[in-house]
Amino acid sequence: MMSLRKTWAVLVKETRHILRDPATLILLLLAPPALLVIMSYGLVADIRETPISVLDASRSPLSRQFLATLANSRDVVVKHIVANYAEAERLFYRSQTKALVVIPPKFAEQLTAGHPAEIQVIVDGTDPTTADHVITHVLSRSQMFGVNAAVKTIGRAQSLPSPAPPIDFRVRTWYNPDLKNGPGIVPAMIAMVMSLPAIVVMNAIVREKEHGTLEGIFATPLKRSELLIGKLIPYTLLGLVSVVLCVLVGIALFEVPFRGDFGLFLALSTLFLLALYSMGIFLATFLSNQAASSLLGLLIFMFPSFFLSGMFYPVSSFPDVVQEESGFLPTTHFVTIARGLMVKGQGVSALVYPVAMLAVLTVLMTGLSIFFFNKKLR
C-alpha cells in the first residue's frame, strides 16, 4: 500500500528543488502567461481597414452611394480610385491594395430598371485570410445595397410606399456578440501554453537520470507510485498558479469574459494538469537525455495541441483517424472546458464528456507511468 508519509517526503523534496532552481520556476510559473500574451496578440487581431481600390466606370450618384455603403465601416477602406485595369495592376504589384471593385458603366441604369447589376471583385490571393475577409465584406454590403435599391425601384414603379423586404432576416450572436477573436482564441490558447510546463516535467525526470541523482532515491524503500506521485503534485500545484495567471492575463489584456464558476474551473484545471503532466512523466520513463526529451515534448504536446485541439477548427471537421488522435491530447478536452466555462458560463453537466476523458487520461497515464518506471539503473 502506498505510504502518504513517504509520498509527502518526495513532494517536499521536489518542491524545494523547484524553488531553488530559478529557471524551472520561471518556466513553470511565468513562461505560460508570457507565451499566452505573445501568441494571443498575433492571433486575436481582427482584420480592419483593409485597403481596396475602385474602378468606377458608372460615375453616377448611385455608384457613389454604393461606394459609401462599402466604406461605411472599418472593415475595408477605399484607398485608391483607379482609371483602368493597368493602374490597378500596378497597385497590386506594389502590395498597395488587397482588392479591386469594378463598377460597370451601366450600373445605375440596370438597378433603376430593376435588373441585377454585375460587379467584379479582384482580390490578392497571396493572403487568403484577408482575401476571404474582403470578399465576405463586399458581398454582404453589395447584397444590402442591392436589396435597398430594388425596394426603392419597386416602390416607385407602383407609386406606393416602399414595401418591406419579403424576408426579415435578423441575426443574433450569443456569448460573443461582436464576434471578436479574443473570447474564442485566448481560452483555447491557455490550454496550449500549459503544454510548456509538461515539457519541464519531462526534463526534470530525465535530468535526474542524467545527473545520477536518482541513485540515492533508488536506494530507499520508496515505491514507484510514491516516487512519481510525490513528484507530480508540486508541478501540478505550481501549474495551477500559472493557469490562474493566464486567466487574469486573458481578462485584463484581451477582455475575455469569465462567466462560469471559478472554483469549478480550478478543479477542472487541476484535472487537466494531472492528465498532462502524468503523460509527460510516462514519456520521460523511456528517455535518457534532455535533448530528446525536449524534442519529443514539442512533437507530442506543443505542435499537436496547436493544430489538432480544436483551437481554430472544430475537431469534428478532421478525418476520423485525426479525431481519434486528438482525443488522446488533454489539450483537446481542456479547450472545450475553458471556452465553456469562461465564455459560455457552462456547468459541469454540460462538460461531462471532456471531464470524463481527462479523468480517464489521468488514471491511464499515471498507471502506465508507475508500471513502466524502472527503479533500476541501466
| 32-81 pLDDT, tens digit each | 999 899 888 877 766 778 899 999 998 888 888 888 888 777 788 889 99
Instruction: Average the pLDDT over 346-369 and give the result.
Output: 93
Residue 171 domain-assigned (yes or no): no
User: How do strand 76-81 and strand 50-56 relate by DSSP bridges?
Assistant: parallel
User: How do strand 99-103 and strand 50-56 relate by DSSP bridges?
Assistant: parallel
When the pLDDT of each residue in the chain is averaged and rounded to a whole number, the result is 84
Pair (189, 297) in one structural domain: yes
Q: Is pLDDT of 289 > 50? A: yes
Pair (212, 332) in one structural domain: yes
Residue 274 domain-assigned (yes or no): yes
Q: Is pLDDT of 375 > 60? A: no
Q: Is pLDDT of 169 > 60? A: no
- Residue owning grid cell 465553456: 340
What is the domain range of residue 325?
4-43+180-372
In the sheet that holds 120-123, the strands lie side by side as 76-81, 50-56, 99-103, 120-123
CA 11, CA 5: separation in Å to the nearest integer?
Answer: 10
Pair (31, 57) in one structural domain: no
Q: CA torsion, points 10, 12, 17, 23, in degrees to nearest 10? A: 110
Residue 247 domain-assigned (yes or no): yes
Residue 172 domain-assigned (yes or no): no
What is residue 159's predicted lDDT score, i.e. its pLDDT?
47
Instruction: Average the pLDDT over 216-235 and give the result.
Output: 78
Pair (252, 269) in one structural domain: yes
Pair (96, 33) in one structural domain: no
Residue 14 domain-assigned (yes or no): yes
Q: What is the CATH number of the domain that holds 74?
A: 3.40.1710.10
**CB 44 within 8 Å of CB 61:** no
CA-based nearest residue to 100, from 59, 128, 67: 67
CA 378, CA 376: separation in Å to the nearest integer?
Answer: 6
Q: What is the pLDDT of residues 236-261, one digit of tens each?
A: 999 999 999 999 999 999 889 999 99
Instruction: Average the pLDDT over 135-147 and give the result.
Output: 79
What is residue 184's predicted lDDT score, i.e. its pLDDT?
85
What is residue 226's predicted lDDT score, i.e. its pLDDT?
82
Which residue among 95, 125, 157 closes a domain?
157
Pair (279, 193) in one structural domain: yes
- Decide which of 127 and 286 is more confident: 286
Q: Is pLDDT of 310 > 90? A: no
Q: Is 81 helix (H, G, I), strand (E, B) or coil?
A: strand
Give the confidence band of 181 by pLDDT, cuts at 50, 70, 90. confident
Q: Is pLDDT of 377 > 50? A: no
Pair (133, 29) in one structural domain: no
Q: Is pLDDT of 167 > 50? A: no
Pair (110, 200) in one structural domain: no
Pair (144, 255) in one structural domain: no
CA 65, CA 85: separation in Å to the nearest integer?
Answer: 22
Pair (197, 138) in one structural domain: no
Split into its structural domains, the chain has a count of 2
Pair (150, 227) in one structural domain: no
What is residue 180's predicted lDDT score, i.e. its pLDDT?
79
Q: Report pTM.
A: 0.79
Q: Is pLDDT of 26 > 70? A: yes
Q: Is pLDDT of 272 > 90? A: yes
Instruction: Average the pLDDT over 312-335 and give the result.
Output: 90
Pair (274, 200) in one structural domain: yes
Residue 286 domain-assigned (yes or no): yes
Residue 244 domain-assigned (yes or no): yes
Residue 70 domain-assigned (yes or no): yes
